[in-house]
Chains A and B, each alone.
With several copies, the nearest count.
Chain A
Amino acid sequence: MSEAATMFKPYSRPQMAKLAADDIPEGWYVNLGIGIPTAIADHVPLDREVIFHSENGVLGMGPAPEKDKIEPWLINAGKQYVTLRAGGSICHHADSFSMIRGGHLDLCVLGAFQVADNGDIANWATSENDTAPAVGGAMDLAAGAKRLWVLMDHTTKDGTPKLVNKCSYPLTAQRCVKRVYTNLAVIDVADIGFVVRQMSPGLSFEDLQARTEAKLHLPG
């Protein structure tokens, strides 16, 4: 890493979530993956109506409940207590996954271990020999939603790039990621590969490329 690397300010988790949230237009049906993506909902104002879906048959989730107003029969796929907005509805698991697999969700945002510049995503197992990997609904969401965005750190803690030429971890789905929000940049996955839309303050394109295995492109 170059000297300059110390000069930039990575996006915080809330900033990453806000960046993604600001890109979601009113009226979209959106599934937010377990973990960091869930925080995106906090950055969408209630008067911009975005309809959040959870795999376990909950459509139209609202903000997290206050502690003394928990409805014990209302949880999301991350098994957190949630609320239902006016207009929310309940369905069974097969109907819920019909929404996902039938291409009815405008957007899904997942976390990931790796994203390749052809849009491949690996987010469910860190080894071909993982003893008991847990896939949950990730493969359904990645393959089924109209568009898939990823929210993740740009590299692992030890600096290994997560935006790669080819995923080394087991795939979740092929050629489906459309955009990646990292702590360093917002990057589209286009036909030519990764196209940088925005970088964290103070970061140069060269610095970003140094932290990225796959080739980066500038727009236009």
Chain B
Amino acid sequence: MINKIVRSMADAMAGIKDGSTVLLAGFGSVGQPNQLIEGLIEQGARELTVAANNAGSGHVGLARLMELGRVRKIICSFPRSSDPVVFETLYRSGQIELEIVPQGTIAERMRAAGAGIPQFFTATGVGTKMAVGKEHREIDGRTYILENALKGDVGLVEAWEADRWGNLTYKLAGRNFNPVVAMASELSIVQTQHVRELGELDPDHIVTPGIFVDRVLHVPYGDPGSF
């Protein structure tokens, strides 16, 4: 019997190696796998490259992971947040590397990694600092730049529902980066609000099929907090 549901955070985090690239889903605190991030802090992997939309806020979650010196590089579209103190301190003192990527390009680079597309052309960023050093090509009269797939060794995902095959649904804006993080990551780890029996999820309504999911941890924390 296939059972991707793990019983403990330690099982969920087992085997994450130093130097891993970790893709973090979530947008604001909605659909963000906060407990898994805490688990990663506990787990201890170092020298991480983290890709996420933001660069953490306050002194918890991703910010805490950075503050502990565990993140070598961050790939994000928006390093600012309501309270970006940790990131800014580390960045100004040269203790963390930053790669700024337009939000749509991050999402598309993850999707490309999941879909077996190593490189693609996009118009986003042409004529800007984002295009410096990138291959340019004129196609049908418009200029594009080449972007690379962004593959995760590990992906951290938050779902609304999950079953033992790893099929997932999301709730409203909690979907955001979660499906692309799941498909782009070698090891996709999910925290889910609800565990459903196999067959309970409608085949037409499953958003992330279990083929993109490796481990599921039941974390019924309730609604996301304020921002």
Partner-B contacts on A (CB < 8 A): 26-27, 29, 47, 49, 51, 53, 55-60, 71-75, 77, 79, 84-94, 96-105, 120, 125, 128, 131-140, 143-144, 170-174
Contact = CB atoms under 8 A, between A and B. Distances in A.
B176 A171 contact: no
A139 B128 contact: yes
B1 interface: yes
Contact of A71 (B77, B110, B172): B172
Contact of B210 (A87, A134, A140): A87
B78 A134 contact: yes
10 contacts: A47-B1, A72-B224, A90-B175, A91-B209, A92-B175, A94-B107, A104-B211, A132-B79, A135-B102, A143-B123
A89 B173 contact: no
B68 interface: no
B199 A90 contact: no
B163 to A, nearest CB: 6
Closest 10 CB pairs of A and B: A86-B199, A97-B104, A140-B104, A101-B116, A174-B127, A98-B115, A89-B206, A93-B107, A72-B223, A94-B111
A63 to B, nearest CB: 15
Contact of B78 (A73, A74, A100, A136): A136
Contacts of A100: 104, 116
A125 B220 CA distance: 40
Contacts of B199: 85-87
Nearest to B197: A86
Contacts of B80: 132, 134
A102 B27 contact: no
B130 A139 contact: yes
Interface residues of B, number: 72
B170 to A, nearest CB: 8
Contacts of A89: 167, 201, 203, 206, 209-210
A189 B138 CA distance: 24
Given A73-B174, A101-B116, A29 B211 contact: yes
Given A93-B180, A132-B88, A173-B127, A74 B103 contact: no
A190 B208 CA distance: 35
B219 interface: no
Contact of B175 (A57, A98, A101): A57
A89 B78 CA distance: 25
Contact of B127 (A56, A94, A171): A171
A73 B30 contact: yes
A140 B173 contact: no
Interface in B115-129: 115-117, 122-129
Given A74-B173, A86-B198, A92-B176, A137 B127 contact: no
Which has the most chain A C-beta neighbours within 10 Å: B28, B174, B203? B203
Interface in B198-227: 198-199, 201, 203-204, 206-207, 209-212, 223-224, 227
Nearest to B226: A72
A172 B131 CA distance: 11
Contacts of B210: 51, 59, 87, 89
A59 B179 contact: no
Interface in B32-68: 55
Contacts of A137: 77, 102-104
B2 interface: yes
A98 B78 contact: no
A3 B207 CA distance: 60
